[in-house]
Amino acid sequence: MSLSYRVQSDWEQLPAGFTHLDVVGVGVDSRDRVYVFTRAQPRVLVYEPDGRFVRSWGEGFFTTRTHGLTVAPDDSIYCVDEGAEVVYKFSPEGALLQTIGTVGRASDTGYDGSLESIRPGAGPFNRPTNLAVHPNGDLYVSDGYGNARVHRFSVDGELKQSWGEPGTGPGQFMLPHGIWCASDGRVFVADRENDRIQIFSPDGEYLAAWSDVQRPTAVYMDRAGVIYVSELWRPVGHRSYTRGVTAVDLPGRVSIFDSRGTLLARWGGAARTAAGNFVAPHTICADSTGEVYVGEVTHTFGVKPGLVPADSHTFQKFHRES
């Protein structure tokens, strides 16, 4: 089986005065409503499946270092605020239901801004990145820029288990950036700077790794078991911890796999600002009909360094054609 997609550039009906210089998280609920988590004007935007704007919430609440969004099976919304060092749980309308972690308190990992400074064995959180909901209700959090761990919580927010340490070996991480729990219980972790997705049992036992990825930022699995991966741009001269320094420019892209890791589709080219290509893919999801949504941290990775124009796309929808 192979899949093909085409971009729908006019899908999002963004209200006047709203911007999203970076789109850090995206998810869909049981009605295929789309939830978009942003920076610069940090908030959650909600859209109908046809792109009509429904509401926004979170204005004045989040830090400017928002990071990940996950829609739970009961349609509650988990938002990871990296800058606040916490995970928040909201109702679909934006009512705060739960906070995991302590606002403003980072765990002591030795982190000084470099991945090499992180000491093993630290607890939650130090610049956490994303959350996944397990079929049994447990919550798994990837942690993150300032740590090298996965933390497992009960649905009530009680820490049950942690695993991982800095490194390139099995079960080690160099920036665990995205996480997803499959219907069969496996836990997929996007080990970004090691250029791989690691797969674990629910208890953290290492099972396998997929290496046919490039700086994976997010993992999403749909109801049919199809796996969607957003992959970040790797410029010339940038170092991978497993592949060394790259001598060629590797544009951002999207890859889609079956549950065994067979590639079904892949796209993204050097013309980064062209519709359908990518500047800096950061988050991905798909709805019940196979429509794909991709958010990008375009301002952080492209506009601020002067590599792309300020009006470059940060959020795109792709229609599944086959």
Could you read off the pLDDT of 211-266 as tens digits, one per residue?
999 999 999 999 999 999 999 999 999 999 999 999 999 999 999 999 999 999 99
Local confidence band at 127 (pLDDT 50, 70, 90 cut-offs):
very high
pLDDT at position 298 is: 97
Residue 194 one-letter amino acid: N
How far is residue 77 from each of residues 74, 242, 275, measured CA to CA in Å? 9, 34, 29
Average pLDDT of the residues in 125-150: 98
CATH class of 5-320: mainly beta
pLDDT (0 to 100) of residue 2:
83
- CA-to-CA distance for 314 and 78, rounded, in angstroms? 21
- The strand order across the sheet containing 187-191 reads 176-181, 187-191, 196-200, 206-210
Closest CA to 68 of 142, 155, 171: 142
In percent, the amount of the chain with pLDDT more than 90 equals 98
Cβ(233)–Cβ(252) under 8 Å?
yes
Asked if residue 117 has pLDDT above 80, the reply is yes
Cis, peptide link before residue 60, omega less than 30° from 0: no
Judge whether residue 270 has pLDDT over 90: yes
253-257 vs 227-231, strand pairing mode: antiparallel
Taking the C-alpha atoms of residue 47 and residue 132, their distance in angstroms, rounded to an integer, is 22
Please state the rounded mean pLDDT for residues 160-185.
Answer: 98
Give the DSSP letter of residue 179.
Answer: E
Structure confidence at residue 52 as a pLDDT band (50, 70, 90): very high
- The domain limits of the chain are 5-320
pLDDT of residue 282: 98
Q: pLDDT at position 322, please?
A: 82
* Residue 121 pLDDT: 85
